[in-house]
């Protein structure tokens, strides 16, 4: 009789435990959902800056209510020529957008082979004393080029680094998806550095953690003095030097260099004499083209600023548009060359190929980057209004793993991106150029944002909140990160709009319109075409009169 009672009691405790876990999980989900009870949105700017040896790091406060709602953190890094962003990994997957410049980067996947090997000539030039040079030559995993307009996808926990081998600054904007299921820690963005003595890139939310470290510092013991231990901020600095020396079979002086205790350099360091690594070759023509694009970009920025101060110039706009068309032609030619090279080497998932059967790309050969600026890949295009390009798991399969996607948009002067909402994703908009009047409406029909969005500002748009953009006199250019690998929009205007898909009689009764007014509405949407609209002169005049 005792055994059935014991079994019954155990089952009761098990049920209570499961119910308690489920209730706790539901409470956690409810807390996350409550983060999006927003009655207003703001255009956000970075509020934390770190000056490094060879650049600067700016971050947005991840504790802001908008970032808490969307579940992301954003950081922007500026890397000077010959600057190296030290190797690191993060607790969340991220998308990195190259706003300016070009260089090389590495991403280390555990278990993957070292496929890049140092040449014998370089080995002999270093005057190493070894009989077996093949054995001593440096080998490492693949190194990739990057350039302006690239989106780089990095899974959580994957070590990566960036190096600027160009002649101008590299500006890289990173979005960290903290709410992603790959993050099992907490809602704080955490960068784990493998080298140097880096500073915390998100100081606001990590102060308590640093305070706890300082309190526990006196209780530590090891191969260093207690006063020194923990002063370095990379992963090696927390271990005993003696243990690491035995693990790596080197002397403790080398270990202290790994721990970064004597270094004053921060997250981005300068490489003297340039970085000497086995890397994919860049032809002289490609380097000259990249440098020419950088100079043209600088001239274009200066021209836009000058025209903005002078109130705009028709001749200047024509000249800029002509340069843009020339740049687009060059990018199209480069794209075609890359497609040809991809087919030549037998790559299964070349750029522009949407086939995927799980065989062409393995973990060790994943394509990590795609250029979103390429005009030929635009998904929405209106020569009088602008273009929009989307990057998702169909054209960059690794995004299926990260559950993220991106959008690049360019609006010409006074053009409108018609009202729409993201059906299955939050959106984080970062302004690259120009300015626009933006409105965001919530589920109560309340305007939660109605203001001008300017260069280098960020606006978060929660899922299903409707948004409309009208470009200013100098146009508008942005990149948006979305928290779904197949983010989809529902437009309110255009040929594929929601209103056109609803029967006329339903619209007439819903909006109390006459049948002829409804038909006129539908016909006009058919004539407008896609969701990028260039207002006619008559409508502009009516708006000016009003």
Residues 62 and 183 in one domain: yes
Contacts of 214 (CB under 8 A, 6+ apart): none
Distance (Å) of CA 57 to CA 49, 75, 90, 358, 479: 6, 7, 16, 37, 19
Residues 330 and 427 in one domain: no
Residues 446 and 333 in one domain: no
Residues 70 and 196 in one domain: yes
**Given a cut of 60, is residue 8 above it in pLDDT?**
no
Look-up of token digits 């970032």: 67
Domain assignment present for residue 420? The answer is yes
Number of domains the chain is built from:
4
Average pLDDT over residues 103-115: 89
Query: Other C-beta atoms within 10 Å of 444: how many?
Result: 7
Domain assignment present for residue 512? The answer is no
Residues 2 and 76 in one domain: no
Highest mean pLDDT among 123-132, 173-182, 281-290: 173-182
Domain assignment present for residue 280? The answer is no
Residues 133 and 259 in one domain: yes
Lowest mean pLDDT among 10-14, 364-368, 441-445: 10-14
Exposure letters 421-443 (e unless 16+ CB within 10 A, then b): bbeebbbbbbbbbbbbebebbbe
pLDDT for 385 equals 93
Query: pLDDT band at 229, cuts 50/70/90?
Result: very low
Domain end: 369, 403, 427, which one?
A: 369
pTM of the model: 0.78
Three-state SS at 488: coil
Q: What are residue 61's phi and psi, to 5 degrees? A: -65, 110
More confident residue, 256 or 486: 486
Three-state SS at 247: helix
Which tens digits make up the pLDDT trace of 284-342? 666 677 777 777 766 666 665 555 445 444 444 554 555 555 555 555 555 554 444 44
**Given a cut of 50, is residue 226 above it in pLDDT?**
no
pLDDT for 311 equals 47
Residues 183 and 253 in one domain: yes
Average pLDDT over residues 231-239: 84
pLDDT for 325 equals 56
Average pLDDT over residues 59-71: 95
Residues 113 and 232 in one domain: yes
Domain assignment present for residue 163? The answer is yes
pLDDT for 321 equals 55
Residues 338 and 425 in one domain: no
Contacts of 370 (CB under 8 A, 6+ apart): 150, 151, 351, 391, 395, 396
Query: pLDDT band at 520, cuts 50/70/90?
Result: confident
Residues 75 and 206 in one domain: yes
**Given a cut of 70, is residue 5 above it in pLDDT?**
no
- CA-based end-to-end distance of the chain: 88
Domain end: 321, 337, 369, which one?
A: 369
Domain assignment present for residue 279? The answer is no
pLDDT for 112 equals 86
Average pLDDT over residues 197-210: 66
Tally: H helices and E strands in the chain = 13, 25
Residues 12 and 80 in one domain: no
Residues 85 and 191 in one domain: yes
CATH number for position 65:
2.60.120.10
Which tens digits make up the pLDDT trace of 460-518? 999 999 999 999 999 999 999 999 999 999 999 888 888 888 999 999 999 999 999 98
Three-state SS at 122: helix
Domain assignment present for residue 282? The answer is no
Highest mean pLDDT among 139-143, 267-271, 428-432: 428-432
137 contacts 191 by C-beta, under 8 angstroms: no
What is residue 177's DSSP assignment?
Answer: E
Helices 314-344 and 284-310: crossing angle in degrees, nearest 10, is 160
pLDDT for 354 equals 42
Residue 20's domain comprises 1-34
Look-up of token digits 């231990």: 229
Nearest to 308 by CA among 234, 186, 413: 413
Domain assignment present for residue 524? The answer is no
Domain assignment present for residue 500? The answer is no
């Amino acid at each position: 009789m005792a055994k059935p009672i014991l079994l019954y009691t155990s089952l009761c405790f098990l049920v209570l435990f499961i119910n308690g876990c489920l209730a706790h999980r539901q409470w956690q989900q409810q807390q996350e959902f409550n983060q999006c009870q927003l009655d207003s949105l703001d255009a956000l700017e970075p509020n934390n800056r770190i000056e490094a040896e060879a650049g600067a790091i700016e971050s947005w406060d991840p504790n802001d209510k908008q970032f808490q709602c969307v579940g992301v953190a954003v950081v922007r890094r500026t890397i000077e020529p010959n600057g190296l962003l030290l190797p690191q990994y993060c607790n969340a997957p991220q998308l990195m957008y190259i706003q300016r410049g070009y260089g090389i980067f590495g991403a280390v996947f555990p278990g993957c082979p070292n496929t890049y090997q140092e040449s014998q000539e370089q080995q002999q030039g270093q005057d190493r004393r070894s009989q077996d040079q093949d054995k001593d030559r440096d080998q490492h995993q693949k190194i990739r080029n990057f350039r302006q307009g690239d989106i780089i996808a990095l899974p959580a926990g994957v070590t990566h680094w960036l190096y600027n081998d160009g002649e101008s600054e590299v500006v890289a904007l990173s979005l960290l998806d903290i709410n992603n299921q790959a993050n099992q820690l907490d809602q704080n963005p955490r960068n784990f550095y493998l080298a140097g003595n880096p500073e915390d890139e998100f100081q606001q939310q990590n102060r308590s953690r640093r305070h706890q470290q300082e309190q526990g510092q006196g209780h530590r013991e090891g191969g260093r003095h207690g006063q020194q231990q923990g002063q370095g901020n990379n992963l090696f600095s927390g271990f005993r030097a003696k243990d690491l020396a035995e693990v790596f079979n080197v002397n403790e002086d080398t270990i202290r260099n790994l721990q970064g205790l004597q270094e004053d350099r921060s997250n981005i360091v300068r490489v003297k004499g340039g970085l000497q690594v086995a890397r994919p070759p860049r032809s002289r023509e490609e380097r000259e083209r990249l440098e020419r694009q950088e100079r043209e970009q600088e001239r274009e920025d200066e021209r836009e600023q000058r025209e903005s101060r002078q109130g705009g110039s028709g001749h200047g706009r024509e000249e800029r548009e002509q340069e843009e068309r020339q740049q687009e032609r060059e990018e199209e030619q480069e794209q075609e060359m890359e497609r040809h090279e991809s087919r030549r080497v037998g790559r299964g998932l070349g750029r522009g190929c949407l086939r995927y059967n799980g065989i062409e790309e393995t973990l060790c050969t994943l394509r990590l980057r795609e250029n979103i600026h390429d005009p030929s890949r635009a998904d929405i295009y209106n020569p009088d209004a602008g273009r929009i390009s989307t990057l998702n798991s169909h054209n960059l399969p690794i995004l299926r793993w990260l559950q993220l996607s991106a959008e690049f948009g360019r609006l010409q002067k006074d053009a409108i991106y018609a009202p729409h909402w993201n059906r299955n994703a939050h959106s984080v908009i970062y302004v690259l150029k120009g300015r626009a009047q933006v409105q965001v409406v919530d589920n109560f029909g309340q305007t939660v944002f109605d203001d001008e969005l300017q260069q280098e500002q960020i606006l978060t748009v929660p899922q299903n909140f409707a948004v409309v953009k009208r470009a200013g006199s100098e146009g508008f250019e942005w990149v948006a990160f979305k928290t779904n690998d197949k983010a989809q929009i529902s437009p309110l205007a255009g040929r594929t709009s929601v209103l056109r898909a609803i029967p006329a009689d339903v619209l007439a009764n819903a909006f109390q319109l006459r049948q002829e007014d409804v038909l006129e509405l539908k016909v006009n949407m058919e004539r407008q075409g896609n969701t990028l609209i260039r207002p006619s002169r008559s409508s502009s005049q009516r708006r000016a009169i009003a």
